[in-house]
Structure 1
Amino acid sequence: MQTRLFRAVGWSSAAVLAVLGVAVFFLVLTPVKDAALPTRNKYGLVFDAGSTHTALYIYRWPADKANGTGIISQVEVCTVSGPGISSYADNATGAGASLKPCLDKAMAIIPVEQQRETPTYLGATAGMRLLREQNSTKAEQVFAEVSKAIAEYPVDFRGAQVLTGNEEGSFGWITVNYLLETLVKFSFAEKWEHARDTEVLGALDLGGASTQITFQPGVTIEDKNTSVFFRLYGTNYSLYTHSYLCYGQTQALKMLLAALHQAFSGLYHNLHFLNLTRGQSLSSVQATIRQFCTSSWEKVQKEFPTEKRDHLRDTCAASSYTLTLLVQGYRFNHTTWLNIHFVRQVANIDVGWTLGYMLNLTNMVPSEIPQRVTGLKRSNWTAATVLLAIMLILIFSLLTVICCQKNPSGYEML
């Protein structure tokens, strides 16, 4: 009787185990879920070799990109010590050496395994344009030395070049509109999409040696020398852009000094220094600049005791030149003046040509298809784990039953 009971328990346990095994089998096989692994980031380096200084911008974007163009963020910016590389015309090796501290900083940020695939560029603007016109041999020597210095680092260096004024202006336009989300925007569907029904903005740039204006006109551009075409985030853009060499702030002040043949105590600072970048009316801006420029040197020094003497000296001329350029040059008036927004950063990212340059270049960087894995839903894993645990308990119980049925000599009792 007892033997039959044990056998019945054994058969019952085996049947339950079979049923549980079939259940686990179906849980493991159906339904499966196709999941994407997290995408890795790519990095890019851009040197902005301006007329007065050089800066290295470190950018990062997801490897799978969005509509063909990377969603780029600024990781870090490193200001190179010393003047712009065009100032090293008689000391070309010094230009290359000046870049190394910032390159060292970049290598500490970018993962070692990704450094050799990091595209690196150096773009020079109006300072090197002027040097190339004045002495092309010295300009080439400077480029050779900065290229040599960058090539010593484990990066994908793609060359140093002089940007045309139109390139500088149009890349700045891309930066401004990207940061203000008029090119691409993160939608409620949790994906990056072209910003529809959003008007793109024009961009004005006043550098040290040149000034640029770029905007999307409502008519066809007849002069091909002032037109540029971009395809960004799946959308085509045809822009008007023009650069005025030697009409940047530094060069304008030099021309003014040359015309006056003397130092000039009425040269002071710029619009931001006078707090004129917060949306004031044109009349208010004009009155503030006029009041500042008619103040005595003693009064100005007393009012700004911590400001550097040369910056304080240049404020009147710099702000007056900016006002003249915008009103008489670009024809802004009392009505359209309020459409101008003076910004240095948007969302903690510097406004300049380098970000637009990298955004445009990522169109040519191959995107990576996200790695995908096939896995179970969390609920399936939980159910399968519980059933497997029950199966193990039943197996252990069944083995116990079998062992209890054995006699001391090791043979089963019949």
Structure 2
Amino acid sequence: MSAQREMKEKNPWHTPVTIITVIGVIAIVALVTVAVLQNRPVLQKYKYGIVLDAGSSHTALYIYEWPAEKDNNTGRAEQKYVCKVKGKGISSYANTPVKAGESLNECMQEAKMQVPTKRHHETPLYLGATAGMRLLNMENSSASDKVFQAVEKALQRFPFSYQGARILSGQEEGAFGWVTVNYLDDRLKQGLETTGALDLGGASTQISFVSKNYDISESPSNSVTFRLYGNDYNLYTHSFLCYGKDQVLRMALAHQTKSGPGTILDPCFHPGYLELKDYSLLYDSPCVSDRKPQNATGTFNHSGAGNFKQCQEVVKKVFNFTSCKYSRCSFNGVFQPPLQGPFGAFSAYYYVMDFLKLTDATMPLKDVKEKLANYCATPWNEIVKQHPEVPIKYLAEYCFSGTYIITLLTDGYNFTSESYSNINFIKKIKNSDAGWTLGYMLNLTNMIPAEAPDSPPLPHAGYVTIITISALILFVLFILSLRFICPSFQKTPHIV
């Protein structure tokens, strides 16, 4: 028995110091392991959505991505990629609908490469058509249906979750544009004062804003309610079909050619500009088709005079400012509450004013008009020399488009010299294009189930508990080791 006791005492693994050391090492390893596992990088899961904006003049494809987990029940979507479809808008293929679908193939192939393959089958794909298809549907619903059939057939060939193609109402287009502008500025999440939205396309224009003085009962058809990030927003919005810059130009020319002249001197085009135009092409839109003069020749000479003030008078004739059955109106008898807060102006607003170098928000309205007047008065041959890279068709229309924008904002929407400075002309906000598509995508994410994100292996409370216990064990072991390593710690000092 004494021999066994002696062997145990001689065995180094049975000494207190060794036992303490082993337990200490185990505790340290456990502490480090838990810390590493708990704090390892968590891979973010993303979902994707594709929206095709089929406008009157062109189509664009937008890819959005957002974290799989939700933020206040609204997905945090951001623009990942954009592809501009070559050619005109799908409404221009009314006579050859198959080509409308074919035109989308190149951008759809790009989408396949941009969205991770494992996400293809669950990525929703939407096509929203705006004013161009609204006009085609009004003019020839059968042709409109055939264009959509061709588009759907083309989109269904791709491995995404096709959710349909449809015509957005003007109200939807305006409201979703408002959502985009305020979302990108983080105004919705933070509950800040919202920004109004001004959208201008080729065939329609939209105005949307929140007004504290807006009495919904006065014009309920112009009211839209959103709930985003836990807040409710009552929005005034209206869309004016035929008041996009391309269709307004047709209306202005229709007014000047109503008697069927062989030549017109147009103050909205530069001095020296001259082009032979076809009456049948000018009047082939529902916005002006009923105004075609009966005695018109086949063509007319369109020449420029370059006079801003006279151009404004021409533009004003496309508006009706006389009839209003409400307490106040914008134009054409449409109710509009008092303007409120800042506004973001995008799409054609930005592109036209940026070309004219008139996007500076600090520039007084009178200076904007003066610069625009000088630009319109510049001879056509000088304009062509200054901008050789711009296609002639677009270059010729900037004087008219700039004049129309100023007239629409001031005479149409009632912006004054003071409130004009509240308009910010924007192309992008935080790397996302301003427009209705992001707002549309944000709304749709509410219908996409949230995924549970990858979470740490331990809840926070459990992690803190293990770390605390491990630290206490190490501390106790450290004190015990001192007692064994330094025996003097165990003895009571002897006082002589």
Q: Within the alignment, does 1:357 sit opposite 2:457 as a pair? A: no
Q: CA deviation at 1:63?
A: 0.4
Instruction: Provide the C-alpha distance between the structure 2 equivalents of 1:142 and 1:80, rounded to a whole number of angstroms.
Output: 16
* Aligned counterpart for 1:206 among listed residues 200, 204, 221: 200
Q: CA deviation at 1:10?
A: 2.3
Contact 1:257–1:264 (Cα < 8 Å) also in 2: no
Normalising to structure 1: TM-score of the pair? 0.82
What is aligned with 1:9? 10
What is aligned with 1:256? 252
Contact 1:266–1:313 (Cα < 8 Å) also in 2: no
Q: CA deviation at 1:260?
A: 2.7
Instruction: Provide the C-alpha distance between the structure 2 equivalents of 1:21 and 1:150, rounded to a whole number of angstroms.
Output: 66
Q: Within the alignment, does 1:344 sit opposite 2:340 as a pair? A: no
Going from structure 1 to structure 2, the CA distance change for 1:173 and 1:13 (only over 3 Å counts) comes to: same
Instruction: Provide the C-alpha distance between the structure 2 equivalents of 1:75 and 1:178, rounded to a whole number of angstroms.
Output: 16
Instruction: Provide the C-alpha distance between the structure 2 equivalents of 1:130 and 1:303, rounded to a whole number of angstroms.
Output: 36
1:51-73 per-position Cα deviation (integer Å, ceiling 9, x unaligned): 00000000000000200011111
Going from structure 1 to structure 2, the CA distance change for 1:14 and 1:115 (only over 3 Å counts) comes to: farther
Instruction: Provide the C-alpha distance between the structure 1 equivalents of 2:172 and 2:405, rounded to a whole number of angstroms.
Output: 22
Normalising to structure 2: TM-score of the pair? 0.69
* Aligned counterpart for 1:276 among listed residues 317, 335, 358: 358
- Equivalent residue runs for 1:18-29 within 5 Å: 24=26, 28=30
Instruction: Provide the C-alpha distance between the structure 2 equivalents of 1:4 and 1:153, rounded to a whole number of angstroms.
Output: 81
* Aligned counterpart for 2:411 among listed residues 328, 346, 349: 328
Going from structure 1 to structure 2, the CA distance change for 1:232 and 1:133 (only over 3 Å counts) comes to: same
Q: Within the alignment, does 1:148 sit opposite 2:149 as a pair? A: no
Contact 1:58–1:76 (Cα < 8 Å) also in 2: yes
Q: CA deviation at 1:359?
A: 0.8
Matched residue SS, 1:366: coil
Instruction: Provide the C-alpha distance between the structure 1 equivalents of 2:127 and 2:229, rounded to a whole number of angstroms.
Output: 24
Identical aligned pairs, as a percentage? Answer: 43
Going from structure 1 to structure 2, the CA distance change for 1:338 and 1:29 (only over 3 Å counts) comes to: closer
Instruction: Provide the C-alpha distance between the structure 1 equivalents of 2:303 and 2:68, rounded to a whole number of angstroms.
Output: 54
* Aligned counterpart for 2:223 among listed residues 184, 203, 227: 227
Structure 2: 5+ residue stretches without partners: 258-299, 309-350, 475-496
* Counterpart code for 1:168: E
What is aligned with 2:58? 53
Going from structure 1 to structure 2, the CA distance change for 1:291 and 1:25 (only over 3 Å counts) comes to: closer
* Aligned counterpart for 2:240 among listed residues 244, 250, 257: 244
Q: CA deviation at 1:3?
A: 8.9
Q: Within the alignment, does 1:159 sit opposite 2:160 as a pair? A: no
Contact 2:13–2:19 (Cα < 8 Å) also in 1: no
* Counterpart code for 1:55: A
Matched residue SS, 1:270: helix
- Equivalent residue runs for 1:34-45 within 5 Å: 37-45=42-50
Going from structure 1 to structure 2, the CA distance change for 1:25 and 1:76 (only over 3 Å counts) comes to: same
What is aligned with 1:292? 375
Higher RCO (Cα < 8 Å, 6 or more apart):
1
* Aligned counterpart for 1:314 among listed residues 390, 393, 397: 397
Matched residue SS, 2:80: strand
Instruction: Provide the C-alpha distance between the structure 2 equivalents of 1:135 and 1:177, rounded to a whole number of angstroms.
Output: 36
Contact 1:277–1:342 (Cα < 8 Å) also in 2: yes
- Which shows bigger deviation, 6-15 or 206-215? 6-15
Contact 2:51–2:61 (Cα < 8 Å) also in 1: yes
Going from structure 1 to structure 2, the CA distance change for 1:25 and 1:305 (only over 3 Å counts) comes to: closer
